[in-house]
Amino acid sequence: MKTEEIPSTIPRPYLEPGETHAEAIERWRREIQIWSNSRSQTLQPLDDETVRKLADIRWAQEDSEVQLRFAGQLVVVFEKHIIAHGYDTKTVLEKAAGLLNCDVDDLAITWIDDFSDLRG
Protein backbone atom coordinates (compact mmCIF):
# COMPACT_ATOMS: atom_id res chain seq x y z
CA MET A 1 0.00 0.00 0.00
CA LYS A 2 1.36 3.40 -0.98
CA THR A 3 1.94 5.82 1.89
CA GLU A 4 0.62 9.25 1.00
CA GLU A 5 2.78 12.22 1.88
CA ILE A 6 0.95 14.71 4.07
CA PRO A 7 1.57 18.28 2.88
CA SER A 8 2.21 21.03 5.40
CA THR A 9 0.03 23.51 3.50
CA ILE A 10 -3.41 23.26 1.94
CA PRO A 11 -3.16 20.99 -1.14
CA ARG A 12 -3.59 22.81 -4.45
CA PRO A 13 -5.78 21.50 -7.28
CA TYR A 14 -4.07 20.48 -10.53
CA LEU A 15 -4.62 18.16 -13.48
CA GLU A 16 -2.48 15.06 -13.96
CA PRO A 17 -1.77 14.13 -17.61
CA GLY A 18 -4.79 12.29 -19.02
CA GLU A 19 -6.94 13.08 -16.00
CA THR A 20 -10.45 14.53 -16.37
CA HIS A 21 -11.56 17.54 -14.34
CA ALA A 22 -13.92 15.30 -12.37
CA GLU A 23 -11.07 12.89 -11.52
CA ALA A 24 -8.81 15.80 -10.52
CA ILE A 25 -11.50 17.27 -8.27
CA GLU A 26 -12.07 13.89 -6.60
CA ARG A 27 -8.31 13.38 -6.06
CA TRP A 28 -7.97 16.94 -4.70
CA ARG A 29 -10.86 16.36 -2.27
CA ARG A 30 -9.12 13.19 -1.01
CA GLU A 31 -5.89 15.17 -0.56
CA ILE A 32 -7.76 17.89 1.38
CA GLN A 33 -9.36 15.21 3.59
CA ILE A 34 -5.97 13.59 4.29
CA TRP A 35 -4.48 17.01 5.07
CA SER A 36 -7.40 17.95 7.30
CA ASN A 37 -7.35 14.62 9.16
CA SER A 38 -3.60 14.84 9.69
CA ARG A 39 -3.95 18.29 11.24
CA SER A 40 -6.80 17.24 13.53
CA GLN A 41 -4.95 14.12 14.69
CA THR A 42 -1.92 16.16 15.70
CA LEU A 43 -4.08 18.98 17.13
CA GLN A 44 -2.12 21.69 15.41
CA PRO A 45 -3.87 25.04 15.60
CA LEU A 46 -4.47 26.79 12.32
CA ASP A 47 -2.61 30.04 11.85
CA ASP A 48 -4.53 33.19 10.89
CA GLU A 49 -3.41 32.99 7.25
CA THR A 50 -4.69 29.42 6.85
CA VAL A 51 -8.01 30.35 8.49
CA ARG A 52 -8.37 33.26 6.01
CA LYS A 53 -7.58 30.99 3.05
CA LEU A 54 -10.09 28.37 4.17
CA ALA A 55 -12.77 31.04 4.71
CA ASP A 56 -12.11 32.43 1.22
CA ILE A 57 -12.29 28.95 -0.33
CA ARG A 58 -15.54 28.18 1.47
CA TRP A 59 -17.04 31.50 0.35
CA ALA A 60 -16.09 30.85 -3.29
CA GLN A 61 -17.51 27.33 -3.22
CA GLU A 62 -20.80 28.47 -1.66
CA ASP A 63 -21.44 31.84 -3.34
CA SER A 64 -24.13 31.43 -6.01
CA GLU A 65 -22.75 34.20 -8.25
CA VAL A 66 -19.27 32.65 -8.17
CA GLN A 67 -20.81 29.23 -8.91
CA LEU A 68 -22.61 30.52 -12.00
CA ARG A 69 -19.86 32.76 -13.33
CA PHE A 70 -16.84 30.48 -12.83
CA ALA A 71 -18.33 26.96 -13.05
CA GLY A 72 -15.71 24.39 -14.05
CA GLN A 73 -12.79 26.74 -13.43
CA LEU A 74 -10.08 27.31 -10.88
CA VAL A 75 -10.33 30.57 -8.96
CA VAL A 76 -7.88 32.40 -6.72
CA VAL A 77 -9.73 34.07 -3.87
CA PHE A 78 -8.52 36.87 -1.61
CA GLU A 79 -10.76 38.46 1.00
CA LYS A 80 -13.92 37.26 -0.79
CA HIS A 81 -12.82 38.59 -4.19
CA ILE A 82 -11.97 36.50 -7.24
CA ILE A 83 -8.51 37.67 -8.25
CA ALA A 84 -7.87 35.31 -11.18
CA HIS A 85 -9.62 32.37 -12.83
CA GLY A 86 -9.03 29.83 -15.56
CA TYR A 87 -8.24 26.20 -16.24
CA ASP A 88 -4.48 25.97 -15.64
CA THR A 89 -3.26 26.05 -12.02
CA LYS A 90 0.14 27.57 -12.73
CA THR A 91 -1.24 30.30 -15.01
CA VAL A 92 -4.02 31.26 -12.60
CA LEU A 93 -1.67 31.37 -9.60
CA GLU A 94 0.98 33.39 -11.43
CA LYS A 95 -1.58 35.91 -12.68
CA ALA A 96 -3.03 36.38 -9.18
CA ALA A 97 0.43 36.61 -7.59
CA GLY A 98 1.35 39.34 -10.08
CA LEU A 99 -1.85 41.27 -9.43
CA LEU A 100 -1.46 41.04 -5.65
CA ASN A 101 2.35 41.36 -5.68
CA CYS A 102 2.76 38.27 -3.50
CA ASP A 103 4.11 34.73 -3.60
CA VAL A 104 1.89 31.97 -5.01
CA ASP A 105 2.08 30.18 -1.64
CA ASP A 106 0.18 33.09 -0.10
CA LEU A 107 -2.86 32.45 -2.33
CA ALA A 108 -6.04 30.42 -1.84
CA ILE A 109 -7.07 28.50 -4.96
CA THR A 110 -10.06 26.22 -5.43
CA TRP A 111 -12.13 24.46 -8.08
CA ILE A 112 -15.62 25.71 -8.73
CA ASP A 113 -17.76 22.68 -9.52
CA ASP A 114 -19.69 22.65 -12.76
CA PHE A 115 -23.10 21.18 -12.04
CA SER A 116 -24.55 22.18 -15.43
CA ASP A 117 -25.28 18.56 -16.27
CA LEU A 118 -27.43 18.34 -13.14
CA ARG A 119 -29.36 21.53 -13.87
CA GLY A 120 -31.04 20.03 -16.87
| 43-56 tens-digit pLDDT | 567 889 889 999 99
Alpha helices for 1-120 (secondary structure H): 21-42, 48-62, 64-69, 89-100, 116-119
Sequence ranges of the domains in the chain: 47-119
pLDDT at 40: 64
pLDDT at 4: 53
HSE, side-chain direction, 13 A CA sphere, residue 90: 2
State the Cα–Cα distance between residues 33 and 11, nearest whole angstrom. 10
pLDDT at 75: 97
Q: Is the pTM of this model over 0.75?
A: no
Tell me what the pLDDT averaged over the chain comes to. Answer: 84
